[in-house]
Homo-oligomer: A and B are copies of this chain.
């Protein structure tokens, strides 16, 4: 058996997230279905770098799988993409050590969040950005974001449903770029808790719209209370952009 590390992109609009579940179409299910066909009906299990929620997109999600087949990347890509639906695409496949693990070996991730702020709704951006046609003070948002760069207990910024005990994470970069009518947020860190990026974006929107001040962020962080942070921003603006390994 050869272990493989694979990279995929998906338009999450019509998926109930990455992980297989009883109801709803999932990315994992589509991947395993395609790999099963390539392996004459044998189940090939797929292990990702982590889940993504319903509606969340990926440009660089990573997973591992084992196969008796020895193929170069290009042949994997061509064969598997021929079996996958249009909204999911295999980008590359490389041989990995037998003990490589797509989830345990992650050392960092980058997420991007796309906000469309144009006055008039753009039909082409509907599924691919979150829509916020109101004034935002980007400088204040940048100032607020600075308070979140570092190592903190992010309990205030993760879903109350989170089961993880340890909520300490390190964010190394928060970048906020204005490109035409879009605001693009980039987050890089060691790992992100459930809904963490979307709650940070929701909180930065509260700052940008003047409801809270950048200087309120340290207090929100220290409260360890989800209710203190902003709303969870819409899934459709979020992209798992890149996953880093040792």
Residues of A that sit less than 8 Å from B by CB: 9-11, 57, 77, 81, 86-91, 120-124, 126, 128
| Minimum C-beta distance from A160 to chain B (A) | 30
Give the 3 A-B residue pairs with the shortest CB-CB distance, closest first: A11-B123, A86-B126, A89-B121
Q: How far is the CA of A91 from the CA of B121 in the complex (A)?
A: 8
Residues of B within 8 Å of A124, CB to CB, are 9, 11, 57, 128
**A84's closest neighbor in chain B, by CB?**
B121
Question: Secondary structure of the A side of the interface?
Answer: mixed
Residues of B within 8 Å of A121, CB to CB, are 81, 86, 89
Q: How far is the CA of A125 from the CA of B11 in the complex (A)?
A: 9
Residues of B within 8 Å of A81, CB to CB, are 120-121
Residues of B within 8 Å of A122, CB to CB, are 9, 89
Q: How far is the CA of A197 from the CA of B27 in the complex (A)?
A: 36
Show 18 residue pairs from A and B whose CB-CB distance is below 8 angstroms, ordered by the A residue: A9-B123, A9-B124, A10-B123, A11-B124, A11-B126, A81-B120, A81-B121, A86-B121, A86-B123, A86-B126, A87-B123, A87-B126, A88-B123, A89-B120, A89-B122, A89-B123, A90-B120, A91-B120
Residues of B within 8 Å of A11, CB to CB, are 123-124, 126
Q: How far is the CA of A77 from the CA of B90 in the complex (A)?
A: 40
Q: How far is the CA of A167 from the CA of B232 in the complex (A)?
A: 56
Q: How far is the CA of A84 from the CA of B161 in the complex (A)?
A: 35
Q: How far is the CA of A45 from the CA of B121 in the complex (A)?
A: 23
Given A89-B122, A89-B123, 10 extra CB contacts under 8 A: A9-B124, A11-B123, A77-B120, A81-B121, A86-B121, A86-B123, A86-B126, A87-B123, A89-B121, A91-B120
| Minimum C-beta distance from A6 to chain B (A) | 12
Residues of B within 8 Å of A120, CB to CB, are 77, 81, 89-91
| Minimum C-beta distance from A126 to chain B (A) | 4
Residues of B within 8 Å of A128, CB to CB, are 124
Residues of B within 8 Å of A88, CB to CB, are 123
Q: How far is the CA of A88 from the CA of B126 in the complex (A)?
A: 10
| Minimum C-beta distance from A187 to chain B (A) | 20
